[in-house]
Each structure stands twice: as structure tokens, then as C-alpha cells.
Amino acid sequence: IRVVSEVLSSHGSTSMGSVCGSTLALMDAGVPIAKPVSGAAMGLIKEGDEVRILTDIQGIEDFLGDMDFKVAGTDTGITALQMDMKITGLPVSIVAEAITKARAARLHILEKMTAAIDKPREELSPYAPRLLTIKIDPEFIGMVIGPGGKTIKGITEQTGAKVDIEDDGTVTISAIDGEKAKAARAIIEGMTRKLSAGDVYVGKVTRIIPIGAFVEFLPGKEGMIHISQLADYRVGKVEDEVAIGDEVIVKIREIDQRGRINLTRLGIHPDEATAARGAVAQ
């Protein structure tokens, strides 16, 4: 993962500010980092034998001082160190003191950071880019791609997600946010699901013709309810029973040799209807 930090102005350490800001951003986005990291820039003024260590140096202290010592880490250890010196040589004791003071500064900053968010969110941000992988039966690859790539291009245009398919049936879906990726996955899973007579679904009426109504019951899957299967009584006109856009519960009666799906609204047990609605809710 690469984090880009853009600093428009500063009066202190932009790198240590980026460490803290990036940690907060990663946790807010739901990236499962092991621990939050904070950082502090330590400075030093040396005049003869007299030395003063500065904590969280400002711009002028960096410019006029003799050291810029950046220390980043968690509450249990250091993750990165970087030092710039303007003087020659520095006693180990001074370095050790600077690290000790930097730890106190880091822990103070961490306390403020974790007050805002103390751990990565359990779910990725809905605005985070997504990369989903699913497996389909290779026999469906041609159907998902479509003639000249028409179907797969249509999925991309409809959802905004990019879809790539390998010869073994591995489908990779990438999108700038989770909803787009999920929408593309739902379409592909619907197209490649193996259907059986007796399956019950919740669908939406998409077309009406004199002899029946067409219902999309899965993304990319459509079947027809014959007028005789709309109700357990005689229906004079299809429009008297359903309208385009209506949500209906349907059962697959049969799938003919040409792959056409015949649906019915008859003979659906209440438990089957409840299960179908529950599947949609999930």
C-alpha cells in the first residue's frame, strides 16, 4: 500500500506530520495496520560544551539548529529513524537522550491520535478502491464476455467496474469503490448461476407482451411468466395483474432445450417466498 501525503504549508516537520496523518487515514479507511504510528522531529542547539535538545522543532529551529532527528514508532518500539546533522560528531549519550525524549513526544501524540480513532475500522471505507476475485465455471466464460466482448463491456459501462477473466474461470473485478465492484460481481454471479426447476426468486417485471410478462430475477437472467401462470384464476389481460417495475416472487417451471426460462407465480410455498426475500435482503 502506498500513501500519498500532500502538505500545502508547514511550520514543523512535514514528514512526521505525514506519518501521523497517514496512520489516521489508513485506520479510517479500514486498512488493517498492526499498530498506529506517530512521529516527532527532535532538534539540537550546541554552543561549545553546552547542548540543548529540542522536541517537535519548528521551522526556525530546524533552520538555525544543529540537528534534525526524526523518530517514528508505535507504543512499543521504533519503526524509522532519520538524522541530519550540521555539526561533526555527537556523543552517544546525546543520541540516547534524544530518542528517550522522542518517545515521550510520540506517546503524547499517539494518545491524541487514538482518542480520534484507536484501531482500524472493521470494514474498508466505501470510497476505497476494491479488487474482488471470484471463480466461475469455464463453460460460462464465453457468455460473460459475449460476442466481440459486448457483454463484458456492458457490465463495465453499467457498473463502472473493470472485469478481467482468465482461462481457468478466475474473474478479477476492480473498481474505485465497493458498491461498483459488488454490482459487477452480482451481475456475473447471476449470469453464471446454474438454475434448476423449482428455484424461487424475487424478480422485477421488465416487459409485458400479450401472452405474458418477462421478469428479471437475477442480474442478467430473465424468464417469462405465461399469462396462465400469473394467478390461480383466469387473467384477461396481463396488465390487469402486473405492471412494468413490479416486484414479484417467481418459481422456475422449466428450462427448455433452447435455454429459455419459463416462470410461474403458482405453487410457491410461503416459506419459499420468505427465503427468497431473505436472499435479496442479504
Q: How confident is the model at residue 49 (pLDDT cuts 50, 70, 90)?
A: confident
Name the segment(s) of the chain with CATH classification 3.30.230.70: 14-116
| CATH 2.40.50.140 intervals, the chain | 200-281
Inform me whether the pLDDT recorded for 279 exceeds 70: no
- Average pLDDT in the 131-159 region? 91
| In the chain, ranges of CATH 3.30.1370.10 domains | 130-192
The CATH class given to the 130-192 domain equals: alpha beta
Pick the CATH number of 200-281 from 3.40.50.620, 2.60.120.1440, 3.40.640.10, 2.40.50.140: 2.40.50.140
**pLDDT per residue as tens digits for the range 222-260:** 899 999 999 999 999 999 999 999 999 999 999 988 889
Q: What is the pLDDT of residue 19?
A: 96
d(CA 188, CA 146): 12
pLDDT above 70 covers a percentage of the chain that reads 98
Question: Has residue 103 got a pLDDT over 90?
Answer: yes
* Length of the chain measured in residues: 282
Phi/psi at 26 (nearest 5 deg)? -65, -45
Q: Give, in words, the CATH class of 14-116.
A: alpha beta
Q: What is the pLDDT of residues 222-231, one digit of tens each?
A: 899 999 999 9
